[in-house]
Homo-oligomer: A and B are copies of this chain.
Amino acid sequence: MSRALHDVATGTLFGVALNYQGLLNQHLAAFNEPPYKQPPVKPVLFVKTPNTRNQHDHAVVYPQGIEHLQPGPALGVVIGKDASRVSVEDALDYVAGYTIVNEFSLPEDSYYRPAVKAKCRDGFCSFGPELVPTSQVANPQTLDIKLWVNGELRQSNSTANCVRSVAQLIAELSEFMTLHEGDLLITGTPEGRVDVLPGDRVEVEISGLGRLVNHIVAE
């Protein structure tokens, strides 16, 4: 039996940007311009604040006055014990299990802007439907990840295309900060994000983890 996901994943929700190779490739030209002048050399982290927490089968509110709302399908990794300076080899020992995340955001022109306003609206981080223990996930880098809108397949990718594996992310992040039991790592959204509208039914499916369903509603 898996423990109840939302009783376990009570910590910080860490997002990792640009963790799919296809997405990174799309931005390489821009990263070679000022002010960066090179692509990021370390994981680009952001935080989904606690007001964004949401769950399977619940509504996601489409804010008034915006032009676009985009779901962000992602593999979620729930940390099982405090991790500080963990090696890549040991990293998966610190995982309690996996789940599906749909990390909503308002699209932005630029990866340079601090993203709290675009990513941290109330209810903008749905995850579930359950916590799948590591024993049931042989390899987190071979999972199909799919986005369905109103039953239509709109994104399809594989965690094989991640720039950094789950183990690499845990190792690189725990090098400079302690990851705590109950933290959730959102390991990245693939390229090709789509717009959704009030009335849409949005589903994210990941091999072996089930389907996370959310309903977009008008404010």
Question: Which residues does A use to contact B, with CB under 8 Å?
Answer: 11-12, 14, 17, 33-36, 42, 44-47, 49-51, 63, 84, 109-110, 112-117, 120-122, 176-178, 180
Contact = CB atoms under 8 A, between A and B. Distances in A.
Contacts of A121: 176-177
B46 A178 contact: no
Residue among A36, A51, A109, A122 with the highest chain B CB neighbour number at 10 A:
A51
Nearest to A172: B117
Contact of A33 (B11, B34, B63, B114): B34
A83 to B, nearest CB: 11
B114 A45 contact: yes
Contacts of A63: 176
Nearest to A51: B178
26 contacts: A11-B50, A12-B50, A12-B51, A14-B49, A17-B114, A33-B34, A33-B35, A34-B34, A34-B35, A35-B109, A35-B110, A44-B114, A46-B114, A46-B116, A47-B116, A49-B177, A50-B180, A51-B177, A51-B180, A63-B176, A112-B113, A117-B176, A117-B177, A121-B177, A122-B177, A122-B178
